[in-house]
Structure 1
Amino acid sequence: MRDRLAALGFSEGAMPARVAENLIVECGIPPRTAWRLASELSLDVAAHQYNAVTGDPRAGMRGTRIWEYEQWPERGVRPTVAALRVLARVYGTSWKSLLGLRDLEQLPAKDLAEYHADTETPATAPEPGPACPARVEAVPHAEIGGAALDDAMLLTTTNVDDLQLDDLWSDLGFLGNAYTRTAPDAVLGQLAVVDERVATLLKGRQRPKQTQDLLLIGAKCSAMMAWIAGDLGRYPFSRRLNSVAWLYSQYADDYLARRWVRTSQARVAFWSGNGVESAKLAADGLNYQVGDRITDAPLILAEARGWSSVQAEQQVLDAIARWTSIEDPDLDAGGEDRFFNITKDRRHYMAGTSLLSVGQAPAALREFTTAREAYEKLSLESRWEAMEPMIRIDTGRAHLRLDDLEGAAAQVEPLLATDVAKQPDMVHAMLKVLAAELAGPRWRTAATARHLAEALLEARASAGL
């Protein structure tokens, strides 16, 4: 078509508009895609030029986001008016040319009003259908670029500043650290406030980098909420929150965010009874390489724990071997990702539970011993309250596998003097498992086992379970 237009005397500058018109009318291609193709730009090159127009090469626009803009309104993401104005400058057209009738029918009332209030005339805006030649009027030189400054200034208008973003990140860090020593419901409620603030800000206008920061905050906040809701046994709610978190991470197109979410998803899946799904989610999380920003240990151990639920011994042993090869005994779970980057006591506890589930009781007992030692070395504010009963319960189970009922009783009896009602859902679940094992055929005739099982079930009943 360019050859035909050149033969007819069209200049290079006039060709894109005629090519876009032909693609829209004769090929049925939506306007935003048509104009990009007419400008001979790939998605990635268009994104690069978009960032250059905003004046920030790191602004965050990606080819995948432009593709999502092109899929709307059937699917994908609705482009903001500000984004359309930048794309129009990249393609050398007007922003109104990038909207077809179906787009206009789905625009929010505010954007449609701005469309009608704008006096700029689209260079071409035909809908797919029978060929209808369009006449492109020459633009007087005096008017060329007349609205460019206004358009550029519009891009600087934002409802977010660095102080707000820093405040949101700070809140997440504080609440993540507070979870070890604060009631889960209280932390969940405060995270919900952060989540609401993020959602409200995203409804406004930001620069691309600010939008990405908000998406990252939303991903982390929702994943943390899902994790905590799971600890409270609210698994349907947890799964919904993790779905929201994953959506945020996809739009942010950030590997670390995807790791946060996969870690939370794997945890929730395991404790809600779907071990194989947990293992697969954890394995997928490892595909997102983020250097040394977060250790692989939590995801590898989650993978092992997931496979242990179906006694997949070889997969469990393979995962434990991978973890052992990277385990750093001096690694602390500090920094911005402390919430997901679990402490040493929890790492060894997870390894022990996986080994115990596939019949490796002696190895499991060694891991539980290391977990207890690491737990006792932590400062009080760094200890997760649930670890003490969890280590005791599973250490007791390991002793039972080794035919050591007295050793199991020594671990379990101190729990009976505590209030288990305040413990997370997984503690209650493991108390039930231990009670069932004590009441099983192997220990049915042992008075000590029978009394322990009855006491454990009583403790659960007193907690309303």
Structure 2
Amino acid sequence: MSPLPSTKQERDTLRREMLDAGRSRRAIAREMMRRWGFRPRAAWRYANGLSQETAAGLFNARYDTDGRAPMTGTRISAFERWPHSGERPRLEVLRGLAVIYETDLTHLVDDLDLKHLPESHRLTMLELIQAREARDKEVPDEEPTTYAQNSAPGDGLPAAEREVVTLVAHESSEHAERAERRDIGEATLEQFRADVSRLAYEYLTGEPFALLMEMRRVRARIYSALEKRLWPRDQTELYFLLAALNGLMANASQDLGVTPASDELFRAGWAYAIAIDHRPLMGYLRGATANAAYWQGRPRHARDLAASALEYHSDGHGAARLHLVHGRAAAALGDAATARRSIAAARDAAERPNHDDIHDGLGGEYGCAASKRAYLAGSTLADLRGEEPAAIDALLEATALFAAEPESERSYGCEAIAHINLAQTQLRSGDLEAVDLSLVFGLPHSRRIDALEKAFSGVRRELATPRYHGNPLAAELDERIETFIRDTITHDLRELP
């Protein structure tokens, strides 16, 4: 429905009368939507008495950090016209406008917006709307308050009006009393965090399917806690843990070769992370999604996701991993220059101290120790022709670092792939006798994850080259690899009815 005609004078008069009557901007926006058929973004702007140019100026003053002044009155207009025409506002834009208009970003969308949002964005918005509606249940619907505007202050107020003022104070006290209530304690929150951290470390050494079931159990307990009366910081902490846990579950699903489930879990994690605007967590999840895309055979998508992740996290070991994931994807695309730059950038990022809740606070799989960085750098070099000596050195360093780590912190998946990529590079260099895959072949069935089968494809390509035709040692190695692949956990899952 197109908005009904209205003049600036009419809108300003309505706004002034409702403010004088003690009504909120939310009530004004609702009345403008009812009376003139405005969509939410326009209604909230009018409720604040702003022109499109003024709203754009306030946006730039708050969020424009590089002087480019990206917001204009024309873009504000385009956001307000969408989806009939104009431009779809990104979630970051809605969050910024919500701050300018002093409201929740979910008040700036309606059912028509939701129908036209991309599915992943729609699910994120629905999560945010549900959270806001849960909060709204705790707050009574506002009632208009009327009072004489010209009465003297203090004791000079007439008795009836002084009673109204007292009632206003009582209402605040009653609401504050409700806000004080809390159905969850610090010990419970600490236990949830400890559980997620424990699972992050167990993921390095454990069986993915059994761990996925344990992660699901912990997630259910956090879901249940979210139904209780919480302080805002409690909800933020639980959203943080849910985002991290969904990312870990996505990794486990990827290990099991169930790509659709992995993608869905990453999207769920992203919804929680963006709701609390936790940038290191958003960087981790975007980077983990990039890594999954690499193993799914989508290096271009992996490269773009990793580059995007670096916008959220630029220092420390977590950023180093993002650079290396980006470089590995670039190497798979034959972009040697970008791959080398990424390895150098990872080295620099790792040397810049940075502590955050996800990479350092939870640790385990969320971290990126020197062993993992050496494995990723060596694997990147292994994909570049002419870099075989450097790749072998880096991968030998990685395997030595893994071997020196405590068993409880030793990522068997990354260590195994380091050995496989080392073998591939040694074969390409003509050094079949140097290949030693005993650690990989010795993995139990329950730890033979999907990535190992994919990594072995590179070794088998080298064994199939003319250099190794008729070589009995090469034939024996290829046969052992084929037997290994037949006995992976993902192979069993594919054969389930």
> Aligned to 1:452, which of 477, 480, 485?
477
Find 1:28's aligned residue among 34, 37, 49: 37
| Aligned-residue offset at 1:347 | 1.1
Given the alignment, which residue of 119, 125, 142 partners 2:163? 142
Aligned counterparts, 1:67-146, within 5 A? 67-72=105-110, 75=114, 76=125, 77-78=129-130, 79-80=132-133, 82-83=135-136, 96=141, 121=143, 142-143=163-164, 144-145=167-168
Deviation at 1:302, TM superposition (A): 0.8
In structure 2, what is the equivalent of residue 254 of structure 1? Answer: 278
Question: 2: CA distance between counterparts of 1:330 and 1:284?
Answer: 21
Distance 1:342 1:184 in 2: 19
Change (3 A) 1:254 1:327: closer
Distance in 2 of aligned mates of 1:463 and 1:422: 8
2:406 match:
379
**CA shift at 1:37, angstroms?**
5.3
Post-superposition offset of 1:154: 2.6
Superposed CA deviations along residues 219-266 of structure 1, whole A, max 9, x for unmatched, are 111011111221222221111100100011111111122022113212
2:326 corresponds to: 303
Q: Provide the residue aligned with 1:267 in structure 2.
A: 291
2:339 to 316, 319, 334: 316
Cα distance, 1:378–1:15 mapped onto 2, change above 3 Å:
closer
* Aligned residues of 1:2 and 1:15 also touching (Cα < 8 A): no
Deviations, residues 262-303 of structure 1 (Å, cap 9, x unaligned): 1321222111222221222111111114755x5311111111
Equivalent position of 2:425 in the other structure: 398
In the alignment, the residues of structure 1 paired with residue 362 and residue 420 of structure 2 have an alpha-carbon distance, to the nearest angstrom, of: 31
2:104, 2:19 → 1: CA distance?
Answer: 25
Once residues 164 and 424 of structure 1 are traced to their aligned partners in structure 2, the CA distance between those partners, rounded to angstroms, is 33
Which residue of the partner structure matches residue 99 of structure 2? 63
1:437 positional shift: 2.2
SS at structure 2 position matched to 1:96: coil
In the alignment, structure 1 residue 366 sits paired with structure 2 residue 393: yes
Task: Provide the C-alpha distance between the structure 1 equivalents of 2:303 and 2:213, rounded to a whole number of angstroms.
Answer: 29
**AA partner of residue 353 (structure 1):** S
Distance 2:138 2:44 in 1: 13
Q: Which runs of 4+ in 1 moved over 6 A?
A: 1-7, 9-12, 30-33, 41-45, 329-333
Counterpart Cα distance in 1 of 2:289 and 2:106: 25
AA aligned opposite 1:309: A
Q: Any conservation in 2 of the 1:432–1:457 contact (CA below 8 Å)?
A: no
Q: Indicate how the Cα distance of structure 1 residues 39 and 156 shifts in structure 2: closer, same or farther if over 3 A, else same.
A: farther
CA distance in 2, matches of 1:232, 1:4: 59
Deviation of 1:84 after TM superposition, in Å, equals: 7.2
Q: Deviations over 1:369-410 (max 9, x none)?
A: 1112211221222212234432222111111111222223xx
Partner of 1:100: none
* 3-state SS in 2 of match to 1:180: helix
Question: How far off is 1:69 after superposition?
Answer: 3.1
Worse-superposed segment, 371-380 or 149-158: 149-158
Is the 2:206–2:447 contact (alpha carbons within 8 Å) kept by the matching residues of 1?
A: no
CA displacement at 1:458 relative to structure 2? 2.0
Is 1:441 the counterpart of 2:479 in the alignment? no
Given the alignment of the two structures, is residue 199 of structure 1 paired with residue 223 of structure 2, yes or no?
Answer: yes
Matches for 1:138-287 after TM superposition, within 5 Å:
142-143=163-164, 144-145=167-168, 147-287=171-311
Contact 1:2 1:19 in 2 (8 A): no
2:376 is paired with a residue of what secondary structure? helix
Give the AA of the match of 2:470. T
**What fraction of aligned residue pairs are identical, expressed as a percent?**
21
Change beyond 3 A, Cα 1:81–1:412 = closer
CA contact (8 A) 1:230 1:268 kept: yes
Cα separation, partners in 2 of 1:309 and 1:153, compared to 1, 3 Å:
same
Query: Could you tell me which of 421, 428, 434 is aligned with 1:407?
Result: 434
Asked if structure 2 preserves the Cα contact closer than 8 Å seen for 1:227 and 1:267, the reply is no
Offset of residue 142 of structure 1: 3.1
Partner residue, 1:136: none
Instruction: Give yes or no for the alignment of 1:13 onto 2:20.
Output: yes
Q: In 1, Cα distance between the equivalents of 2:413 and 2:13?
A: 75
The SS at the match of 1:261 is helix
Q: What TM-score does the superposition give when structure 2 sets the normalisation length? A: 0.70
User: TM-score, normalised on structure 1?
Assistant: 0.74
8 Å contact kept, 1:420–1:428 = no
Bigger shift: residues 64-73 or 363-372: 64-73
Q: Choose which of 366, 371, 380 in structure 2 pairs with 1:340.
A: 366
Contact 1:259–1:286 (8 Å) recurs in 2: yes
Superposition deviation, residue 435 in structure 1: 2.3
How far the C-alpha of 1:72 sits from its partner, in A, is 4.7
Of 303-312 and 145-154, more deviation after overlay is shown by: 145-154
| Deviation string, structure 1 residues 324-347 (Cα, Å, up to 9, x no partner) | 334459999864233222221221
How many equivalent residue pairs?
402
- Whether 1:428 and 2:453 are equivalent positions in the alignment is yes
SS in 1 for 2:478: helix
Offset of residue 357 of structure 1 = 0.8
Q: Cα gap change, 1:362/1:327 in structure 2, threshold over 3 Å: closer, same or farther?
A: farther
- Equivalent residues of 2:315, 2:352 under 8 A apart: no
